Chains A and B, each alone.
Chain A
Amino acid sequence: MPENWTVRAITRATLPLLVVLSTVELGSGLVLGSVEEQLLASPSLLVLVPVTIGTAGNLGSVLAARLSTAVHLGTVSFEPDDDALVGNAVATFALAATVFPVVGLGAWTTAELAAGATRLSPLRVVLVATVAGAVLAVLAVAVTLAATYVAYRRGLDPDDVVIPVVTNTCDVLGVVVLVAVASVLAP
């Protein structure tokens, strides 16, 4: 982080990553665009989009922040039976299992209130959100472990790289998984 806080110095430090990340996010935008008609016809699914992106990104960023701290403190070993590693992964699955059913019910209720007509039953929307959430938790753990491990092996500070990379990757995966699960469970 530059101590010289000029527009030029800050831009030089952050703009390249911002451009890469927004190009990656464009990929998830194109996935959304490819099912635009289906989303416009089912407001519940449209409402699910931002909240799924946000929750998936947050699950990844919380895990990444905790693993980064564990790396700094030297309390993580990247072995399959490491308590810090397995414990944080288990917490991520438990958080997803708690939050995503609520996300589904909230999305259905919001769509009913904001858009009026909903095509899908509340149970169907809860099912889509819960299955998408379970798949996302597995992917978030895999992506975070891989990114933290690579940063750790290369001697990079995980705080600088891992959190933005993981958050944006989980954003994109959130859209892709939601669209895939919805096309199977709520065609």
Chain B
Amino acid sequence: MTMREVAASAYREALPALAASVVGGLFAGAVLGGMRAELSDVPGLLVLVPALLATRGNVYGSLGARLATGLHQGLLEPKFDLGNDRLRGAIAAALANGVLVSILAAVLTYVALTALGSSPASLHVLVLVAAIAGVLSGLALTVAVVSVVVVGFRRGLDPDTFVGPVVTTTGDFVGLAVLLLAVRLVTAALGGL
């Protein structure tokens, strides 16, 4: 292929997925723009946002890739069977790692902001918000990833080609919305902060 052909085919193949992720990203932005009150009430929450969003992509992108590889290798049957040890192990590991890394990010955020001399919200508030958001977005992403990978594979598609964008877009729609929900739950449970 000449340079021009390579460029044209790369452009054509990437544009639809990129456009879809822009729509998801703008939805995430709308949620973030609409939670300015919560961001002011919980100092440190904005600092936590990139780590939380990235963790979703990294953990559930890896779950999708693992399931796709398992289906290709015949290690996994393309059906929703939670009695299957491999499927259960992969899901449990993703949920556990996702929540663990979210909590770690909250602790690191608290430590970094305190060390820099600013005053973040209290540690238990940040940890609770990160943990609740991690569990809720984890459940939503698990359902999304397992269903599209299994259904796509059954229809003869290669899950490797679409699982990445599915995780990114679902993560955009779910990630900040559950963060907002988690802040409201924690605020309500603790009766103000």
Partners in one complex: yes
Contact A51 B22 (CB under 8 A): yes
Known: A15-B100, A171-B54. A40 touches B29 (CB 8 A): no
Given contact pairs A18-B59, A91-B14, a sample of 9 additional A-B residue pairs in the complex whose CB atoms are under 8 Å apart: A6-B93, A22-B105, A30-B47, A30-B116, A50-B53, A54-B168, A62-B10, A84-B6, A88-B10
Using Cβ atoms and an 8 Å threshold, which residues of chain A touch B54? 21-22, 25, 168, 171
Q: Is the CB of A36 within 8 A of B39?
A: yes
- B-chain residues with CB within 8 Å of residue A5 when the two chains form the complex: 66, 70, 75, 85-86, 89-90, 93
A32 lies within 8 A of chain B by Cβ: yes
Task: Decide yes or no whether B164 CB sits under 8 A from chain A.
Answer: yes
**Does A111 belong to the interface (CB within 8 Å)?**
yes
The residues in B between 35 and 92 inclusive whose CB is less than 8 angstroms from any CB of A are: 36, 39-40, 44, 46-51, 53-55, 57-59, 61-62, 65-66, 69-70, 75, 85-86, 89-90, 92
A57 to B14, CA, bound (A): 13
Residue interface bits A32-73, CB-to-B below 8 A is 1, else 0: 110010011001001111111111011101100110000000
- Asked whether A83 and B6 contact (CB < 8 A) given A19-B101, A106-B22, the answer is yes
A175 beta carbon closer than 8 Å to chain B: yes
Q: Which of the segments B106-114, B137-145, B151-159, B184-192 contacts the partner chain?
A: B106-114
Q: What 0/1 pattern do residues 1 to 20 of A give for CB contact below 8 A with B?
A: 10101110011001101110
* B75 proximity list for chain A (CB < 8 A): 3, 5
Q: How far is the CA of A59 from the CA of B21 in the complex (A)?
A: 11
- Shortest CB-to-CB span from B35 to chain A, Å, is 9
> In the complex, how many residue pairs between chain A and chain B have their CB atoms under 8 Å apart?
224
Q: A90 on the interface (CB 8 Å rule)?
A: yes
Chain A interface residues (CB < 8 Å from chain B)? 1, 3, 5-7, 10-11, 14-15, 17-19, 21-23, 25-26, 28-30, 32-33, 36, 39-40, 43, 46-55, 57-59, 61-62, 65-66, 83-84, 86-88, 90-92, 94-95, 98-99, 102-103, 106-107, 110-111, 113-115, 164, 167-168, 171-172, 175
Residue of A nearest to B49 (CB): A29
Which 10 A-B pairs give the minimum distances between C-beta atoms?
Answer: A87-B6, A51-B25, A47-B29, A91-B10, A10-B93, A29-B47, A50-B28, A25-B51, A33-B47, A54-B25
Docked-complex contact B22 and A103, CB < 8 angstroms:
yes
User: B50 contacts A106, CB within 8 Å?
Assistant: no
